[in-house]
Amino acid sequence: MFGTIIQDAYKENEKDDLAYAINDICNPNDNNGWASAGIYCFWNYQTREILYIGLARDLSERLKQHNGLITIDPKGCKVENINEYFNENEKMGHSIFVQSSNHQPVTSRNIFDLFRKDPELGNVKEYDDEPVKQDYIMTEGILIEAYNKMFNTIPPWNKIAGSKKGQLASTIGNYEIVKFFSSKDPSPLLARYSIREISNNPTYERYELFLHTARQQMLTTGITFLDAIKFSRSFDMLETYEELFSVEYFNRILDI
């Protein structure tokens, strides 16, 4: 289930670093952290303009494809857009909208461990009807359509809108999620640490995983953040909420 937006911004020579960090916290073979599948966004670091909203079964692998670290047909990725962007800009914004690790789909990197099937034979496509895949397909459609409802157009690097089902379910209120893909403003949905900071510090990851449970409750049930925190605290044996106050987490401004 979706809940947490995590931002970062990277220079052209930091592509590998960011891909490594996403793989660390969203690994298809690891129950720690978040699922590898989710929604991602590229945005202009200077203007905060959202450039592209996409979905991925494997967020790390998809970032590598878009940035030319894994070679695929340019028509199937945004490598040309990104190369052009870096010709004129020093840093690119990148955000991921992540879901719980218990919503992990089958990927080419975990299909052998799960089912002893060879990923080279294209078996992953057998699982395209997984509920978790349908969820993130619908979520992408909701968010692209929310952007469209706000600006009467889809993001400039998106060639098509998302799923019809997602479009029909979308409301202008869903733009509040899209907004925080690039906004500097604090939000209950936005992690106060960057992708790479979370990867580098297990304590930060624990904070954001605790809050992820609350964020899920906010989005799925519509309850307030405070009520959602109460829900998260009922499952927390480490007194994480008290620790968040002791380190002044809620006063922290994300610095990327």
Among 206, 174, 212, smallest CA distance to 5 is for: 212
Q: What is the pLDDT of residue 111?
A: 66
Give, in order, the Cα–Cα distances in Å from 15 to each of 37, 56, 80, 107: 19, 17, 15, 22
Query: For the residues 176-183, what does the mean pLDDT come to?
Result: 97
What per-residue confidence (pLDDT) applies to 57?
A: 92
Say which residue, 208 or 119, is predicted with more confidence.
208
**Segments making up each domain of the chain, as ranges:** 2-200
Each residue of 163-173: pLDDT tens digit? Answer: 999 999 999 99
* 107-138 confidence digits (pLDDT tens): 777 666 665 566 665 676 656 556 777 888 99
More confident residue, 133 or 255: 255
E strand or H helix that includes residue 150: helix 131-151
For residue 29, what pLDDT is reported? 87
| CB contact at 8 A, 209 and 193 | no
Of 179, 40, 181, 13, residue with least CA distance to 98 = 40
State pLDDT tens for residues 64-113.
Answer: 999 999 989 999 999 999 999 999 999 999 999 999 988 887 777 766 66
pTM for the full predicted model? 0.93
> Positive or negative CA dihedral for 45, 18, 35, 209?
negative
